[in-house]
Amino acid sequence: MEISVDGDSVPLGGDLNWQVRLSQMPLPLSIENNPILLRALNSLIEEGRIEPNLGLELYSVSNLNSLFTLANMVKQSRFENQIFFNQNLHVNTTNICVLACRFCAFRKGPRHEDAYELSVEEYLHRIEPFSSSIDEVHSVGGLHPVWDVTHYEELYKSAKAKFPHIHIKSLTAVEIKHLSKRSNLTVKETLQRLKNSGLDSIPGGGAEILVDKIRDRICRGKESSSEYLNIHKEAHNLGIPTNCTMLFGTIETIQDRIVHLDLLRKLQDETNGFQCFVPYPFLPDFSRLPEAQLASSNEILRMIAISRLMLDNIPHIKAYRMNIGDDIAQLALLSGADDIDGTVGHEEIMHSAGSTTALDSSNQDLIRLINQTGQVAVRRNTVYSKFNIENAQVTVSNSLPLLV
């Protein structure tokens, strides 16, 4: 195993000989006896990829433990038993938004009593108490009716001047589209100015499902699928790394989910700029999008596993515990995910939608959560170029059953 985590020698995608390592792993009977999983395994070993039709067939595998085991084998072939996290803070810039996506519990109209917009000083004030313990601030927000690119330039320049060690991961694709329109700039010009002022990476939210007929029903007026992909492509071409996401469990079909994964994979073939894929389910509250299908725990884990199997060229798959909760996130770490969101000091978007995941998790709690899956917690920076193994200060038993 060539991965070392005490320096900067870990390749972004983990062990680059992952196909060889996968072929050398003992084959559980449950996979050997399942023709779909066996074809998927052989295809990954021989081609490094499974085609969309086979991805679709994975949805018909009824033995979920076997599916999760195969996804975990692929994860292990890249990263062994390491699970990555970082320490970050979410600061949302404003909840005022000129759009009204049907699944969104966060946005407010400008005159709503709970509407807010952070001044630059308020933004810095939010970061201040956490500045010595975090290495990343994650900032997204609504589409503000007045702010243009100059507001964000001031925001990022001020944050970098005061907290030069903190990585700024900010703006969704639709915010970038909105800013470029408001500023009479191209997307490329907007991104270049934002990068020059301190934007380090883009979190990837807002992909929802990259199928326009679904977008038209759940988030009409948002960027189209091709616009989402083009904005990320422009960012990659400017050297700005991005993540990508999927909101599932609304009204999409499983075919739509596979189309989504395939589109991301094709762009990654071209640019190699995606670092991490973050799939998360719609959280219902019976008032927004009442026709949503809703995702069960099994469905969430199935989605994590299929993401790992389909996205051979996007190295990291995140268990987004702010959305799926700590218990399912822990199981996701045994079903293909290698990354988990870190010690989040503050989060609004998922909590507005009903998430009950505890905030202010200490490093120790998160490390314990990872260790309880029988794996090693590795703290990383945002761009996966620095790593440190973190140890829990108490002895923990590996009491969770392994999925075999």
Binding residues for ligand SF4, per CB under 6 A? 97, 99-101, 104, 106-107, 142-143, 174, 219, 222
Q: Smallest distance from the beta carbon of 251 to ligand SF4, in angstroms?
A: 16
3-class DSSP state of 324: helix
The two structure tokens encoding residue 93: 């810039």
CA-to-CA separations, 75 to 19, 243, 334, 338, 363, in angstroms, rounded: 11, 18, 9, 7, 23
Q: Where are the alpha helices (DSSP H) in 238-283?
A: 254-271
Q: Smallest distance from the beta carbon of 143 to ligand SF4, in angstroms?
A: 5
Rounded (10°) angle between helices 120-127 and 149-162: 40
In angstroms, the CA 49 to CA 51 distance is 7
In angstroms, the CA 107 to CA 105 distance is 6
Whether the Cβ atoms of residue 136 and residue 166 lie closer than 8 Å to each other: yes
Q: Smallest distance from the beta carbon of 107 to ligand SF4, in angstroms?
A: 4
The nearer residue to ligand SF4, 55 or 203, going by C-beta atoms, is 203
The nearer residue to ligand SF4, 101 or 340, going by C-beta atoms, is 101
Q: Which residue type is seen at 260?
A: H
The nearer residue to ligand SF4, 55 or 142, going by C-beta atoms, is 142
The nearer residue to ligand SF4, 98 or 400, going by C-beta atoms, is 98
The two structure tokens encoding residue 312: 């051979």
List, in order, residues 6 or more apart from 121 with CB less than 8 Å away. Answer: none
Q: Smallest distance from the beta carbon of 105 to ligand SF4, in angstroms?
A: 8
The nearer residue to ligand SF4, 208 or 312, going by C-beta atoms, is 208
The nearer residue to ligand SF4, 75 or 107, going by C-beta atoms, is 107
End-to-end CA distance of the chain: 23
Closest CA to 212 of 190, 228, 197, 193: 228
Closest CA to 167 of 392, 383, 403: 383
The nearer residue to ligand SF4, 100 or 294, going by C-beta atoms, is 100
The nearer residue to ligand SF4, 37 or 174, going by C-beta atoms, is 174
Planar angle of CA 65, 403, 307, nearest 5 degrees: 60
Strand bridging mode 316-319 / 167-170: unpaired
The nearer residue to ligand SF4, 146 or 161, going by C-beta atoms, is 146
In 10 A of CB 388, how many CB atoms?
12
Closest CA to 195 of 239, 232, 163: 239
